[in-house]
Structure 1
Amino acid sequence: MSKYTKEDIFRIVEEEDVAFIRLQFCDIFGTPKNIAIASSQLESALNNECMFDGVSVEGFGCDSEGDMYLYPDLDSFEIYPWRPQSGKVARMFCNVYTADKKPYEGDSRDILLRTLKRADKMGLKFKLNPELEFFLFDFDEEGRPTNTTKEQGGYFDVAPADQGENVRRDIILNLEELGFDISSSHHECAPAQHEIDFKEEDASKVADMIMTFRMAVKTIAKKHGLYATFMPKPTEGISGSGMHINIMAFDEAGKNIFINEKDNTLSDKALNFVAGILNHAKAMTLVTNPIVNSYKRLVPGFDAPVDISWSTSSANRSALIRIPSGRGADTKLEIRNPDATCNPYLAIALILAAGLDGIEKDLKPECKNGENQDTLPLTLGEAIDAYQTDSFVKEVLGESTFNNYLLHKKNEWKDFRSCVTQWEIKRYLNIF
């Protein structure tokens, strides 16, 4: 059942003095895009008449015919609490349609919805809660972001060691105004590193929430004179930032399918789901960990996964999938390799589709609890190779998105390989 009707949106816009509405979507990499309209143009937008040039959007280009349309999701309407309260700014997430009024197959949001429809046909519903980590760094004297901080806080520290406490508080208050149910927040293990967690939500909403979360964190941090970054490894020698994704799955009766109710052990379907993710993990990594820097985080010794394995041990931080200790209705799987630079729609679609593949094929993990099936790619180049060899990824993303994504990532890897880094200069210039 829908939360809002068109009439509701018109009424709220008038009552709340909303002057501008942002019609938001994203490119193939999850970079937020929007068209801002004045409230006087709201009727046209709600009639799905807002058009944009798809050729100009990263990853759409060669497959679009230019004219594309935004179809607003009325239930995603929210007013930005950090913007002026006179002449307010609101936003709605949109699905992208082609000129002939058909869903655009390269629309990330639609790719996720297609995966969730597949789950519906199997009688399954998912709830997810991601754990997003980020750093709060200083700006330099010219106002440019840096990767430096004067803070020396550590895991679970409080003020004055935790100098970001008030920033987190402000972020949380703004997120709660946007409908987030925040479960906890804390200082992470590295200086200036933080984490804010929200409670599990329907899988159809979570990717939108991640997009909103990233925008809110960056916006509020800047108001406090700090630069927020979700870059996985902005500083060497310390732990990087990830985006663990916790997954709960329910049948049509609302029962958690990951648990055997009789003896409180993991169910066969839980192991099927685990097996599907393990089998496709290498190929999915290009999407869940999409940039060169992602692979500086996925190294031993920094609480990040390196092994394609599963574990019920809370001490095993190198496993790709961890099964938290909670059982019964709270049984969940934690996928530990993604980072917040990913396109959340594509990453979640692939992870859920991989688990569904395991259930449909009745797969069993090739490795035992705590043992390794394989290792994750070590570089973006290795991730590209794995991505190309698994037809499952192309099936989930669709051929055009699969090919466009691959093309851009090959170019990114080529650019990096031709770049001479400061590490090379320091290591070799004085020797050779």
Structure 2
Amino acid sequence: MTPREVLALCRQNEIQAIDLRFMDFPGTQKHFTIPVKALTERSFEDGLTFDGSSIRGWQAINESDMLVVPQPETAMVDPFMKSTLAMTCNIQDPITRKDYARDPRNVARKAEAYMKSTGIADVANFGLEPEFFVFDDVRFDQNEHEGYYHIDSVEGEWNRGSAKADSNRGHRIRRREGYFPMPPGDTLQDLRTEIMLICQACGVEIGGQHHEVATGGQCEVDLQFGPLLQSADNLLRFKYIVKNVAAKVGKTATFMAKPLWNDNGSGLHMHFSLWKQGHTLFAGSGYGGLSELALHAMGGILKHTPALFAFCCPTTNSYKRTVPGFDAPVNQTYSFRNRSAAIRIPVHASSVETKRFEYRCPDPTCNPYLAMSAVLMAALDGIQNRIDPGLPLDKDIYDLSPEELADFAKVPSSLGEALLALRDDDGFLLRGDVFTEDVIDTWIWYKQTHEVNALRERPHPWEFAMYYDM
């Protein structure tokens, strides 16, 4: 869409409000709204000002003024707000008019540009599988003298003995038996279908939807593959739709990696492939039907996985998911078919056009612009340096002995460990000025100060169970 076409769309749909959206540094979408008459063709070049010092991890107060620049190709008639058209924006410095280095969307744009400059590929396609939970009620708080959370779900196994009146009496999803149940046990079929239909109406193509493994309302909706920047934009749009569809029916959706203890967490599996001049570069005669280039890309991702975790699993809660026994990858391995490996080569991707591999480590709390850019940069480093991914692991990782597992490197066990790995291994991200040193330094500082240290300082409820009577 061009700016002129966006203005025409506003007239056709009797739009009265323009919602301007962008992504903050840690990964939360922000917005403000202007009347439609304030949007002109010049707005798409001149931008509109906002206070960058009030956005987490961005500007100091003495240089707070920043610009949002609407991107016409992202225009969407908002399905939840009255007479509103939404657009995703790029962030610029109002004096130099340079793209802002800490704008996550700018990092993704630079990653795509760097990939093209190498001559290796001209498109990096990502197909995303976001998982999430839909709960009926959630309460949580933490202060000086108490800390707790409480989650409730009509589907939850813990409600089997509940006296609450509901339409599903007796039909509860057992712990870790939530994969593909039928209604009435699956209470969220209509909700997921509404999410799917609204996504498609808003330009986000969906491959399918289903209930996921965990009890208590775990869902998955698969987004069709597309170029990196478009896929990241679509994931933001998707999360907005999920949260608002849930809210509309009195429920609440979360993309936290591990909201329920002792059950499966939520991942964001990334199906990845590189293309050039309309043809895939990943099909070949190597392991799993992959090309040598694809195997080297895999080698780069596996080599840099500890550093990638800082962006792909970016919360302290992320590491509650990556523990043995809950279908999340815990070793830096790859395999054909094996879903317990960090990288899986899908069996059903047998045709040339669908050949890809699936990076199973990321979770949906990640900032998709940063996470997918980092994965792409690791893959390009693997190709440029012909990094060998090593031998595949085609066994059930969870059944291996400690001696057998010792041959395979483990993924980081905490956000602090992942941040240290990023500090020690950031060279591949700095190429092409994609991730600047300032971006990496600010990311590590913010995560360490506001998340790692914040959690470390607070007592945990289970510590009372373990230690109160010591």
- Normalising TM by the smaller chain, what interval? over 0.9
**Structure 1 401/64 Cα, relative in aligned 2: closer, same or farther at 3 Å?**
farther
For residue 78 of structure 1, what is the amino acid of its counterpart?
M
Describe the SS at the equivalent of 2:333.
strand
Deviations 1:84-134 (A, max 9, x none): 3xxx11111111111221111111111111111122222411221100111
1:409 alignment partner in structure 2: 447
Q: Tell me, yes or no, if the aligned pair for 1:132 and 1:195 is still in contact at 8 Å.
A: yes
Taking the TM superposition and a 5 Å limit, the aligned residue runs for 1:216-235 are: 216-235=241-260
Q: Tell me, yes or no, if the aligned pair for 2:306 and 2:421 is still in contact at 8 Å.
A: yes
Cα distance in 2, alignment partners of residues 366 and 64 from structure 1: 51
Match of 1:283 among 294, 299, 307: 307
1:318 alignment partner in structure 2: 340
Match of 2:55 among 57, 68, 78: 57
Could you tell me how far 1:63 is from its partner in structure 2?
Answer: 9.8
Deviations 1:153-207 (A, max 9, x none): 3210121000111111111121111012211110111121010112111222000
Length-normalised TM-score, structure 1: 0.93
Taking the TM superposition and a 5 Å limit, the aligned residue runs for 1:69-88 are: 69-84=67-82, 88=83
Cα distance in 2, alignment partners of residues 139 and 30 from structure 1: 24
Cα distance in 2, alignment partners of residues 262 and 141 from structure 1: 51
Q: Tell me, yes or no, if the aligned pair for 1:171 and 1:217 is still in contact at 8 Å.
A: yes
Cα distance in 2, alignment partners of residues 389 and 31 from structure 1: 27
Could you tell me how far 1:7 is from its partner in structure 2?
Answer: 1.4
Cα distance in 2, alignment partners of residues 172 and 273 from structure 1: 32
Describe the SS at the equivalent of 1:29.
coil
Could you tell me how far 1:264 is from its partner in structure 2?
Answer: 8.0
Q: Tell me, yes or no, if the aligned pair for 1:137 and 1:146 is still in contact at 8 Å.
A: no
**2:138 counterpart of 1:148:** no
Could you tell me how far 1:15 is from its partner in structure 2?
Answer: 1.4
Deviations 1:224-274 (A, max 9, x none): 11110111110101000010010122122x222111269983211011100
For residue 104 of structure 2, what is the amino acid of its counterpart?
S
2:24 alignment partner in structure 1: 27
Task: Could you tell me which runs of 5 or more consecutive residues in structure 2 were left unpaired when the two chains were aligned.
Answer: 141-147, 156-171, 395-404
Q: Tell me, yes or no, if the aligned pair for 2:341 and 2:393 is still in contact at 8 Å.
A: no
2:426 alignment partner in structure 1: 391
Deviations 1:322-350 (A, max 9, x none): 11112222111101011111100000000
Deviations 1:362-382 (A, max 9, x none): 211144444864111111121
Deviations 1:22-56 (A, max 9, x none): 11111111110122111011015323230112111
Could you tell me how far 1:83 is from its partner in structure 2?
Answer: 2.4
Could you tell me how far 1:140 is from its partner in structure 2?
Answer: 5.9
Describe the SS at the equivalent of 1:47.
helix
Length-normalised TM-score, structure 2: 0.86
Could you tell me how far 1:318 is from its partner in structure 2?
Answer: 2.6
Taking the TM superposition and a 5 Å limit, the aligned residue runs for 1:28-427 are: 28-43=25-40, 45-62=43-60, 65-84=63-82, 88-99=83-94, 100-121=96-117, 122-124=119-121, 125-139=123-137, 146-151=150-155, 152-153=172-173, 154-191=178-215, 192-252=217-277, 254-260=278-284, 265-312=289-336, 314=337, 316-325=338-347, 326-327=349-350, 328-370=352-394, 373-392=408-427, 395=430, 396-411=434-449, 412-427=451-466
Q: Tell me, yes or no, if the aligned pair for 1:366 and 1:373 is still in contact at 8 Å.
A: no
Q: Tell me, yes or no, if the aligned pair for 1:249 and 1:257 is still in contact at 8 Å.
A: yes
Q: Tell me, yes or no, if the aligned pair for 1:138 and 1:145 is still in contact at 8 Å.
A: no
Describe the SS at the equivalent of 1:244.
strand
Equivalences, count: 421
**Structure 1 264/20 Cα, relative in aligned 2: closer, same or farther at 3 Å?**
same
Q: Tell me, yes or no, if the aligned pair for 1:272 and 1:362 is still in contact at 8 Å.
A: yes
Cα distance in 2, alignment partners of residues 118 and 364 from structure 1: 23
Deviations 1:372-409 (A, max 9, x none): 64111111121121111112265142111111111111
Cα distance in 2, alignment partners of residues 243 and 47 from structure 1: 34
**Structure 1 141/30 Cα, relative in aligned 2: closer, same or farther at 3 Å?**
closer
Cα distance in 2, alignment partners of residues 107 and 297 from structure 1: 28
For residue 383 of structure 1, what is the amino acid of its counterpart?
A
Cα distance in 1, alignment partners of residues 232 and 417 from structure 2: 26
**Structure 1 259/416 Cα, relative in aligned 2: closer, same or farther at 3 Å?**
same
**Which has the larger displacement, 298-307 or 390-399?**
390-399
**Structure 1 57/17 Cα, relative in aligned 2: closer, same or farther at 3 Å?**
same
Cα distance in 1, alignment partners of residues 365 and 289 from structure 2: 34
Q: Tell me, yes or no, if the aligned pair for 1:108 and 1:345 is still in contact at 8 Å.
A: yes
- Give runs of ≥4 in structure 1 deviating > 6 Å: 261-264
Task: Could you tell me which runs of 5 or more consecutive residues in structure 1 were left unpaired when the two chains were aligned.
Answer: none
Could you tell me how far 1:141 is from its partner in structure 2?
Answer: 9.5
Percent identical residues: 32
Describe the SS at the equivalent of 1:235.
coil
For residue 391 of structure 1, what is the amino acid of its counterpart?
D
**Structure 1 367/92 Cα, relative in aligned 2: closer, same or farther at 3 Å?**
same
Describe the SS at the equivalent of 2:280.
coil
